Amino acid sequence: MESSSAVHIPVRSISLPSRLQPTFHNIESELRKLRSWESTVPSGSETIQLRLVRVAGLYNCLQELIHSPLTQKALHRHQYPNLVEEAFDGSVELLDVCGNARDLFFMMKEHVNDLQSALRRRGGSSSIEGNIQAYICFRKKVIKKDITKCIKTLKRMETNDIESFPVMDSDHLSFLVKVIREVRAITRSMLRSLMLFLSVPVMKTKGSGWLLVSKLLLTSERSQKTLNELGAVDAAVYTIHGQIRRNNDDAKVDVQEVQKRLERLDGRIKGFEGELDCLFRCLIQNRVSLLNLVTP
């Protein structure tokens, strides 16, 4: 189920002196928009994908800032080397979480495509059931292990950011570190939204009860509106799985519904994959740029 109550990471507004270059103000404007979305816009899949695009754009602005003459001049004075090193240290875990998210969506797409192929072939029930079982096992494993790990990492990063030493000075380098921290806070929040998208609860009821639950989710218009594309597929998959195991001939009707939902989910996953690839490249470039700053 899509969550409109994703954990909000508090970020401070940056008061920028007018003498600093316009890139600072462009970043602050984007940060303000993204913060506003966090508090007012439900975290649906379309919103998450749009946030991915905007966050990648933030890193492009950040690159301009890092390579600006003002930054280079400030570094040559060697006033606050520890500030830049602190900003650099946080880049590895963010890259790891983004990379893990890419891997999860790639594996999700493989299972979706396998299930689509099995349903198109219209083979025996045992063949379809094998693919459904593989899908269900993958979903449970992802929620229990991979997503939990990523969310814990994001939470630890948030704690470390809060506990890191404050930046009180008003020079260019200090403002650069403030901007980096805020951009990362927004990135963490967005990645958490992605994990919440993937962590739609897999239904866990006993006997034939789960079949009734999934049927209700499949037919209730209100319930369908509260499910993201992944939750809608879960509901349909559990329904057809129960029908196959009970040798229910009506399963053919539900197969068509599963195919429609799988197609929508496949399209959403491809969109997420493309934007995550873009963000991952931006994070790598950002890390390389910061590495060049801290390397004599």
**Which amino acid is residue 140, in one-letter code?**
K
- Asked if residue 258 belongs to a domain, the reply is no
Neighbours of 121 (CB within 10 A): 11
Q: Give the residue with greater pLDDT, 99 vs 80.
A: 99
31 belongs to a structural domain: no
pLDDT band at 237 (very low <50, low <70, confident <90, very high): confident
Listing DSSP states for 220-242 in one string gives: -HHHHHHS-HHHHHHHHHHHHHH
Render pLDDT for 144-177 as a digit per residue (tens, 0 to 9).
889 989 999 998 888 877 656 555 555 777 777 7
Please check whether residue 220 lies inside any domain of the structure: no
If DSSP codes are grouped into helix, strand and coil, which group holds residue 208? coil
pLDDT of residue 11: 42
Question: Can you tell me the mean pLDDT for 288-293?
Answer: 82
| Domain range for 137 | 44-204+269-294
* pLDDT level of residue 80 (50, 70, 90 thresholds): low
Q: Is residue 192 in a domain?
A: yes
Instruction: Answer yes or no: is 234 within a domain.
Output: no
Residue 259 belongs to some domain of the structure: no
pTM for this one? Answer: 0.79
* Position 123 in a domain: yes
More confident residue, 269 or 125: 269
> Measuring CA to CA, which residue among 233, 267, 280 is closest to residue 119?
233
User: Do the domain assignments include residue 27?
Assistant: no
Specify the pLDDT at position 109.
94
Q: What is the pLDDT of residue 216?
A: 38
Cα 204 to Cα 35: distance, rounded to the nearest angstrom: 35
Structural domains in the chain (count): 1
